[in-house]
Amino acid sequence: MPNAYDELMARKNAIMKQSVGLDYAKYEQGGIAFDYEAMMTDNDYDIDTIRAIQRDNMVGDTPLVELKNITAYARKYAKPGYGARIFLKDEAGNLSGSFKARRAALSVHQAKTLGYKGVIAATSGNYGAAVAALAAKAGLKCIIVQECFDSKNVSQPEILEKARKCEAFGAEVVQCSVGPELFYYFLKLLDETGYFNASLYSPYGVRGIESLGHEIAEQVMRKTGRHPEAVIVTNAGGGNLTGTARGLKAAGATNTKVIGASVNLYGLHMASDTDFNKKSFTTGHTGFGIPFATYPDRSDVPRSAARPLRYMDQYVMVNQGSVFYITEALAILEGMERGPAGNTSLAAAFSLSQQMKDDEIIVVQETEYTGAGKHIQPQISFAKRNGIEILFGNPLEEVPGKNIIFPKDGSYLKHQEIPMEDLRRSYLKRYKDTDLSEQDIAFLAEELRISTKDVRDLL
């Protein structure tokens, strides 16, 4: 087995090149620099083509809803003249029930265009269901590789929910334990099948989300006569934020602030067998959001198209209890029952809106479908079975892995800032002993949206 593992891993770059239909070497510039924009645009997909492909697949053109009751609730705790209008982009209306269908539509279209017989994706989340649904519609075979359970064979209800959804669309689901075997099996299957790598982190996966940013800019302009002051994006691997921000900018919303939001799971290691089931969120948390922001090329392709620090203006956290709280508030106050991923951003927007003037606009850029494993009750029951204490009080006192604290009321729902300079330092620390060229320094400045002098100072 060790020999088989080593042999396969030694061929990973060749396997990736064959499976994604993209020669990443042509974008390399020596050292650490590469031509990111060329990689993103070196294809036949302009925004009109992307949107046409998505419309043909029942994806996109989702409604933008003003959450008037949630806004009124936020204003209850804001000082006079404050409490921005909160809008919600209802992505649950996409085929498969999440914004991930935008990614999948382009990836599956590319796979079919290039003549692949099937697609494979490594994901525990909504992207698996999206790839499975779009592959079924395109007549392609589909395999989803899932990091699913700990060494006691215990899996979270949300992950099992997504596996059922993938299987409903005819996909084969390969379930792995937490740790390095996911990438090994993913590579092994790509090698054995010759299927297309429908990676979350390819240019196709990220460019598919640009339509979401375009639609937000257009719809807010139609409804209000202006672009929003802020768009808040649940951040995990960074593709959601990257694609949305690129679409906003391309549509003319150049002054709109792009804010990332993640669930605070500090102290829990995502590759730890013992920590795996101590969290109540399988994505959209700091365990993915921070590592992928500060080292984007940790992904399953040689160069990740998801590079959030190129586009992020602010990064905030909310706790697990606050997301559960706002999920219930959305259902009770607005009659919208939605899953937890988008509600991470909604919880942050509820708090952030209170710092903005009441004539300003903040947009939560996605919702997701909900189902048996995504509801609050199975998640809370699962947490209790894993020894997590459920409390009401101040969410800022929550200790991930030990308790979940619901706000006593809306006034306790508060976000926390993650300093952007800390993220930039973390990104740069692995290069502090590297001999960097001027081209490398310029690349890092683009990556981090700072000057070359600031790059040198931080290093």
How many other C-beta atoms are found inside a 10 Å radius of the C-beta of residue 375?
18
Nearest to 177 by CA among 76, 45, 295, 271: 271
Contact 431, 447 (CB under 8 A): no
441-448 CB contacts, 8 Å cutoff, 24+ apart: 442/33, 443/29, 443/32, 443/33, 443/34, 444/32, 446/36, 446/310, 447/307, 447/309, 447/310, 448/309, 448/310, 448/424
Dihedral pair phi/psi, residue 36, rounded to 5°:
-60, -50
CA 194, distance to chain mean position in Å, is 27
CA distance 212 to 12: 32
What residue has token string 């046409």? 52
**Residue among 338, 323, 261, 333 nearest 62 (CA):** 338
CA atoms within 13 Å, Cβ hemisphere of 419 = 4
Q: Residues 391, 269, 185, CA angle at the centre, nearest 5°?
A: 125
* pLDDT score at 67: 98
What domains lie within the chain, and their CATH numbers? 2-52+99-202 (3.40.50.1100), 54-97+206-417 (3.40.50.1100), 420-458 (no CATH)
**d(C-alpha 320, C-alpha 396), whole Å:** 10
Any idea which residue has 């850029």 for tokens?
365
Whether 329 and 73 have beta carbons less than 8 Å apart is answered as yes
What's the token pair of residue 282? 């399988």
* Rounded Cα distance, 124 and 144, in Å: 9
**Element housing 145 (H / E):** strand 141-149
The torsion angles phi and psi of 86, rounded to 5 degrees, stand at -105, 120
Q: How far apart are CA 246 and CA 242, in angstroms?
A: 6
Q: Is 263 helix (H, G, I), strand (E, B) or coil?
A: strand
Q: Is 80 left (phi over 0), alpha (psi -120 to 50) or beta?
A: beta
Q: How many CB atoms lie within 10 A of CB 353?
A: 28
| DSSP H or E run through 19 | helix 12-20
Report the Cα 306 to chain-centroid distance in Å: 9
Helices (H), 154-294: 157-168, 181-193, 203-207, 210-224, 239-250, 286-294
Using CA atoms, how far apart are residues 340 and 346, in angstroms rounded to an integer?
A: 10
Coil, helix or strand at residue 297: helix
Contact 349, 86 (CB under 8 A): yes
Angle at CA of residue 448, ends 396 and 315, nearest 5°: 20
- Dump pLDDT digits (tens) for 4-33: 888 998 998 889 889 998 889 999 998 999
Q: Residue 324, SS3?
A: helix
Instruction: Look at residues 309, 310, 292 and name the one whose alpha carbon lies nearest to residue 301.
Output: 292
Q: What is the DSSP string of 168-205?
A: HTT-EEEEEESSTHHHHHHHHHHHHH--EE--TTSHHH
List residues bridging with 257 in a β-sheet.
230
Question: Identity (one letter) of the amino acid at 118?
Answer: G
pLDDT of 1 reads 55
Condensed to tens digits (0 to 9), the pLDDT of residues 255-268 reads: 999 999 999 999 99
- Secondary structure of residue 155 in the 3-state scheme: strand
- SS3 call for 52: helix
d(CA 421, CA 160): 37
Each residue's pLDDT tens digit in the chain (459 positions)? 567 888 998 998 889 889 998 889 999 998 999 999 999 999 889 999 999 999 999 999 999 999 999 999 999 999 999 999 999 999 999 999 999 999 999 999 999 999 999 999 998 889 999 999 999 999 999 999 999 999 999 999 999 999 999 999 999 999 999 888 888 999 999 999 999 999 999 999 999 999 999 999 999 999 999 999 999 999 999 999 999 999 999 999 999 999 999 999 999 988 899 999 999 988 899 999 999 999 999 988 999 999 999 999 999 999 999 999 999 999 999 999 999 999 999 999 999 999 999 999 999 999 999 988 899 999 999 999 999 999 999 999 999 999 999 999 999 999 999 999 999 999 999 999 999 999 999 999 999 999 999 999 999
